[in-house]
Amino acid sequence: MTHRIVPADPFSIHIPEAEIEDLKRRLQRTRFPNEPLGNETWEYGTSLPYMERLIEYWRDDFDWRAAEEGLNRFPQYRATLTDDNVRDAFREMGIMKGSAVT
């Protein structure tokens, strides 16, 4: 079996400040539903109090620049994949070397 080499371009992650501010505004406008009765054990999905805290964290406390810095410590590549051999493409680029995925 032969594998086609997919060219990959290196890049760095940088989210424009305007996009972060837009997200924060949208999170501020989140309309929460009423908590379904009996959802204390998450039987019907995420609990409302948890979701409210999560939205608050992403809106007010998440450090986007620290996240970018952490992700950019690793090589980032962008490639256009046109077939189902994604795993093989990554293996051939050496990205999966030493990985448990084979």
pLDDT in tens, 49-93: 999 999 999 999 999 999 999 999 988 888 776 655 555 545 555
Amino acid sitting at position 58: W
Residue of 31, 62, 56, 88 whose CA lies nearest to 99: 88
Residues 6+ apart with CB under 8 A from 56: none
Assess if residue 98 is contained within a domain. Answer: no
Assess if residue 99 is contained within a domain. Answer: no
Q: Is the pTM of the predicted complex or chain greater than 0.95? A: no
Buried b (16+ CB within 10 A) or exposed e, 45-75: eebeeeeeeeeeeeeeeeebeeeeeeeeeee
Domains in the chain, number: 1
pLDDT in tens, 5-54: 667 788 899 999 999 999 999 999 999 988 888 888 888 888 899 999 99
Per the CB < 8 A criterion, the answer to whether 9 and 78 are in contact is yes
Q: Which domain holds residue 48?
A: 9-30+42-92
